[in-house]
Amino acid sequence: MRTASTRRTQIYLVVWAVSSAALVLGIGLLDTMWLIASMAVWAVVVVVGVLWSRRWGSVGMGSTAQVRRGTFGWAVVYAIVIACGSGDKIESLWFWVVGAAATAVPLLMAARQCARCSDTGGDTGAPA
């Protein structure tokens, strides 16, 4: 059964996934002015997400581990996509669309796995 804290964790991960995909598309496809605007929006999303998550108090058992896994996977994929495509190396729409989707996958997988997390006992950070 999904509880309130599990739903919050899932919302957090899904919003991060969608925001990340939008950011990658912005980096790859927009001119400099729009790129700066998308980075500013990204910064606001990150700050709001961090402040919102700090108000939770506790999360479901295993949620911390899922967020950690999703974060690590996202960082690896994001770094690869940006390194391969930045510096005017790749201007292909398909590269950036696929790259944007790829950055969302680890976070969406973590959100899906959070459905197995429970609220009993609070989160110890142990793998789910």
Contact (CB, 8 A) for 119 and 3: yes
Determine the pLDDT at residue 108.
93
Give dist(CA 46, CA 62) in Å, integer. Answer: 22
Higher pLDDT, 127 or 113: 113
Please give the residue that has the higher pLDDT: either 11 or 108: 108
- Residues 107/20, Cβ–Cβ less than 8 Å: yes
Is the pLDDT reported for residue 74 higher than 60?
Answer: yes
Task: Say yes or no to pLDDT of 84 above 70.
Answer: yes
- Cα 100 to its chain centre, rounded Å, is 11
State which of 8-17, 88-97, 102-111 shows the largest mean pLDDT: 102-111
**Highest mean predicted confidence (pLDDT) among 55-64, 72-81, 118-127:** 72-81
The pTM of this model reads 0.75
- The helix, strand and coil proportions of the chain, stated in percent and rounded to the nearest 5, come to 75, 0, 25
Tokens 């969608």 -> residue = 18
Q: How far apart are CA 6 and CA 120, in angstroms?
A: 11
